[in-house]
Structure 1
Amino acid sequence: MTKIDRARVADTALRLLNEVGLDGLTLRAIARELDVKAPALYWHFKDKQALLDEMATVMYRRMLADDLPGPGQGLEPGPAPVTWQAQLIAYNTALRTALLRYRDGAKVYSGARFTGTDHAPGLEAHLRTMTEAGFTLRQAVRAGTTAFSYTLGFVTEEQGVQPRPDERRDGFDTDERAARMAEFPLAAAAGPEIFSGYDERFEDGLLLIVAGIEARYGVG
């Protein structure tokens, strides 16, 4: 019988996710890919949600391994950003990049409970940066979770149109949409802005979040 462990199951599940998507990712399909019987997986994961938790944790670990600061707003891999604004932008830019590597990556990540504490050092450091900048801990948490929720929601919608960077679902042709909505000229013209240009839109939205945090809490 093939020998498996948690790491191998999670790795196989993430690889299979890109082929079949979250709806097609069943324990039976994963077991078949591993050449084992489905009950063998229950030695490692009590149910599918437990496996999704581990998959999200592996996704996060792989993001850390890529040297977290991302390409948003001129940030390049290297020294950690110093300001809270740059940290929020760098982290959420890197998170979006990590989620887009997997079909339905945002759906897997949403609501998952990390199975380790790999995220704790980075979270501790960021909260310290924010509280030292003048935020209360409550404000710092709300600011961070708001930016995080924006990223998850944005990527969920993005992957609804483009499941993978090189794919686009039928029904999202902006010219066809404009023709159907010709009697609503502004709504018709908005199509390309709504269903394309995701990189620029994400960065602009993230800047709006940061500006809103500054305005709401009066911390620059």
Structure 2
Amino acid sequence: MTTDRRAPLDRTRVADTALELLNEAGLDGLTLRAIAGRLDVKAPALYWHFKDKQALLDEMATEMYRRMAAAAPLDPADTWRERLLKSSRGLRTALLGYRDGAKVFSGSRFTGIVHAEQMEDTLRLFTAAGFTLAQAVRATSTTYFYTLGFVTEEQGVEPMAGERREGYDVGERARLMADHPLSARAGAEIFADFEAHFEEGLAVVIDGIGARYGIR
């Protein structure tokens, strides 16, 4: 006789399964029923752990952060500029690893203080470099918001690596906007080479922070 030894159902297992399904179905297709089916349980069982879908999204975002932090530990030798570059690039890479990753992460609330250690380290680095606490918060928040917004738009065009949504053919767009030549040509800048676009925009933001607060 065999005994079913499935892993016990807990928040971590549900969130891990939800992240797997996210890449298959996207945020709109991610339902508690689908997650329950993948876990081979009845949907009501999930409500012992999450009161609604937003509570689950909060846990998913928290798990995404845990994985991101584990993959890129902070370097105590960073300058403030290096910290902003690394954290922004790391966040973009992490979000691009999931279909609708930016939508899940944006607006979600961490379910614990998992982020506090890195946040404290970064704020300490910035204040030691000459920023006031308020300036440090503005600087880190601005680059964070830039990255979230950029990836949200990027995934609206390319949901996953190698995919491109219908309607974002740059050549077709240029043909339709032939009477507006600058706008037509701008499509190649807006909807292609997201890596270069992100890096240039990030440099603009960081240079602006340095200029605004007079800190090199």
| Matching of residues 1-220 of structure 1 within 5 Å | 3-68=8-73, 79-220=75-216
Instruction: Tell me how far 1:67 sits from its aligned partner.
Output: 2.4
Instruction: Tell me how far 1:172 sits from its aligned partner.
Output: 0.5
Residue type of the alignment partner of 1:206: L
Cross-structure match for 1:75: none
Distance 1:80 1:134 in 2: 17
Contact 1:81–1:90 under 8 Å retained in 2: no
TM-score by length of 2: 0.94
RMSD: 1.3
List gaps (5 residues or longer) in structure 1. Answer: 70-78
Distance 1:128 1:13 in 2: 35
Find the residue that maps to 1:190 and give its secondary structure: helix
Instruction: Tell me how far 1:68 sits from its aligned partner.
Output: 4.4
Distance 1:145 1:115 in 2: 19
Using the aligned pairs only, state the percent identity: 64
Distance 1:120 1:57 in 2: 12
Instruction: Tell me how far 1:171 sits from its aligned partner.
Output: 0.7
Distance 1:116 1:207 in 2: 32
Distance 1:30 1:152 in 2: 26
List gaps (5 residues or longer) in structure 2. Answer: none
Distance 1:173 1:180 in 2: 11
Find the residue that maps to 1:112 and give its secondary structure: coil
Structure 1 runs of 4+ with >2 Å offset: none
Distance 2:25 2:94 in 1: 18
Q: Deviations over 1:127-186 (max 9, x none)?
A: 011111111101110111110000000000000000001100011000000000011111
Contact 1:5–1:44 under 8 Å retained in 2: yes
Instruction: Tell me how far 1:81 sits from its aligned partner.
Output: 4.8
CA gap of 1:198–1:68, structure 2 versus 1, over 3 A, is farther
Distance 2:24 2:162 in 1: 13
Instruction: Tell me how far 1:118 sits from its aligned partner.
Output: 2.1
Residue type of the alignment partner of 2:15: A
Residue type of the alignment partner of 1:94: G
